Amino acid sequence: MDRRRFLLTALAGALAAPVAAEAQQAKRSHRVGFLARGDDVSARPVVSAFRGELRALGYTEGENLIIEWRWAGEHHERLLEMATGLVRAGMDVIVSVGTAETRAARQATSTVPLVMVHVADPVGAGFASSIARPGGNITGLAVLFPEVSVKQLELFRELIVAAKVVTVLWNPSNPSHPPALRALEQAAPALGLKLQPVSRQESGGLDQAVTTAGKALLVLGEPSVFAERQRLAELALKHHIATMFLLKEHVEVGGLMAFGPSFPDLFRRAAYYVDKILRGAKPADLPVEQPTKFELVINLKTAKALGLTIPPSLLARADQIIE
């Protein structure tokens, strides 16, 4: 080979190397872990929102993205084992849905980036130094559960004007519930209400909890409640009880009212955090966000069955009315 041909060949190889490296990098599949209680069927709306936003951001499962799903059902004791498994499997990012899930993920790793979703108090729980600068390997989306619960009670009061007592169905083992219950107890007197807390753990089951409630029931949200939404709605109607929930899916199956953050919107934002981290951002530098989109949903058919008239002012604020 003459000197000219050798130089041209060497130059071509040098130019091709970065292109080949870039192509290899482009083909690399990012690995994202997803840790949650509940199951993929009950969580389908938020899963669809999460996947859809990742697609919009340029990620295609099976090509440049692998998502490892871990559903613990109601078995909290399995969360740490599942989180540890995701870390060992080499996840680039882990999405943890809820306080218990995020606590388990933090126990499993202090280095793998974690994107928390729907955590009530990330600073109080020790997940972040501050909302503006989390400072560790965790960032994501916080839901100020006590404040949302108080707003639920205020909206509920506008409808159940004759009620003096509101039963609150809660779970003492859910870390988000005790602070929410305390906030409700502080807010109730100013609204002319008395609260009657009923623990699912101590009431002898869902049927007993609902049947011992008065005429107004505020249900603090959690996966087990979501999974039993159909039965909850049927029991409440059977016993002529007005209900307030966190998620609109409860109202779609016969509950009376729901107020809370748009959970599909939260999971779209979670995908945004995942994208930022996969592109090199550090969780410590990404501020924790709070929801910006809330939904008030009212079931007029249920209101009619309960003999309730929805005030026009409340109807005007509803994002969705089910007739």
Contact yes or no for 102/127 (Cβ under 8 A): yes
Domain ranges for the chain: 30-144+263-292, 145-261+295-322
CB burial readout 21-55, b (16+ within 10 A) else e:
eeeeeeeeebbbbbbbbbeeebbeebbebbbebbe
Report the candidate in 247, 246, 291, 241 with the shortest Cα–Cα distance to residue 268.
Answer: 291
Predicted local distance difference test score (pLDDT) of residue 153: 97
CB-based contacts of 232, cutoff 8 Å, min separation 6: 206, 210, 219, 225, 243, 250, 255
Kindly give the pairing relationship between strand 257-261 and strand 294-299. Answer: antiparallel
Q: Which CATH superfamily is domain 145-261+295-322 in?
A: Response regulator (3.40.50.2300)
Amino acid at 74: E
The CATH code that applies to domain 30-144+263-292 is 3.40.50.2300
Predicted local distance difference test score (pLDDT) of residue 19: 46
SS3 assignment for the chain: CCHHHHHHHHHHHHHHHHHHHHHHHHHCCEEEEEEECECCCCCHHHHHHHHHHHHHCCCCECCCEEEEEEECECCHHHHHHHHHHHHHCCCCEEEEECHHHHHHHHHHCCCCCEEEEEECCCCCCCCCCCCCCCCCCEEEEECCHHHHHHHHHHHHHHHCCCCCEEEEEECCCCCCHHHHHHHHHHHCHHHCCEEEEEECCCCCCHHHHHHCCCCEEEECCCHHHHHCHHHHHHHHHHCCCEEEECCHHHHHCCCCEEEEECHHHHHHHHHHHHHHHHCCCCHHHCCCECCCCEEEEEEHHHHHHCCCCCCHHHHHHCCEEEC
Amino acid at 181: L
Averages of pLDDT over runs of 10 residues in the chain (323 residues) are 51 49 58 90 85 97 96 88 98 95 96 94 91 95 92 95 91 87 96 91 70 88 80 91 93 95 94 98 96 95 94 94 92
Predicted local distance difference test score (pLDDT) of residue 30: 98
Predicted local distance difference test score (pLDDT) of residue 315: 94
